[in-house]
Amino acid sequence: MRNLILLLTILISAPVPFWAQNQSECYNTVTFCPIGKRLGFTRNMQSFSGAFEQGDTSEVSIVVYKNMEYRISVCSPSHPELEGQLQFKIIEYVTKGTWVEKPKFKEEIYYDEDGMEQTRKVEDGVAKKRVYIKEPVVRYDNTEDQMSQDFIFQSNQTRKLNVKVYVPDDGGDEMSSGLSGSNYACIGLLIEHQPGIITGFSR
């Protein structure tokens, strides 16, 4: 009897493996991503989890702060075959000013065939207007970094960044998810942070 109670206690207290959870719920996938604790990083609450089909792309926004070091990684514990294949980019939308030229018009009086006075608009030079647009600037692309599944960086200013994640399409073949007929994968986007290095002299 004692052995039975001990066995039940071990089973109840043992961690539940990822595959045993409801595969239709990917909300906690990121908790199963490898963390950089040994490097001093702490999980950031801006992390994301979601369900992706092959060929899906998703873009999310995060805020990084000055003099903080960040580690961004992607993982799919439910689909280890995707390791090294998940693509992600870090994008910053930068506001840039540019001059736009538009034609100016004025009203001109003329007389029609019946001698009636009419008005019409005719071009009267060019008007210049300063407009500001946001252009995407790719700060990091893991396809140019040997498909690395994580990236560590330090921001020199507080800014808003977008992380774009893409799950590759393998020619239409369904991903093996452990559930018959299911062709999605649970993807985690892990954001971690720690104090960065402040350069220069200090007292």
- Closest CA relative to residue 168, chosen from 89, 102, 59, 85: 85
Q: Which of the four pLDDT bands, split at 50, 70 and 90, describes residue 16?
A: very low
Rg from Cα positions in the chain: 28
Q: Which of the residue ranges 2-6, 20-24, 42-46, 120-124 has the most confident prediction, judged by mean pLDDT?
A: 42-46
Instruction: Flag whether pLDDT at 7 surpasses 50.
Output: no
pLDDT digits (tens, 9 = 90+) for 63-87: 999 999 999 999 999 888 998 999 9
pTM over 0.85: no
Cα(140)–Cα(127) distance, integer angstroms: 39
User: 112 near 118, Cβ under 8 Å?
Assistant: yes
Sequence-ordered strand ranges (E) for 77-183: 87-111, 117-141, 150-154, 159-166
Going by the DSSP 8-state scheme, the letter that residue 200 receives in this structure is S
Q: Architecture of domain 21-93+138-195 in CATH?
A: Sandwich (2.60)
Q: Give the tokens for residue 124.
A: 């009267």
pLDDT digits (tens, 9 = 90+) for 144-197: 999 999 999 999 999 999 999 999 886 544 444 444 445 688 999 999 999 998
pLDDT digits (tens, 9 = 90+) for 100-147: 888 888 888 888 888 888 898 888 888 888 889 999 999 999 999 999
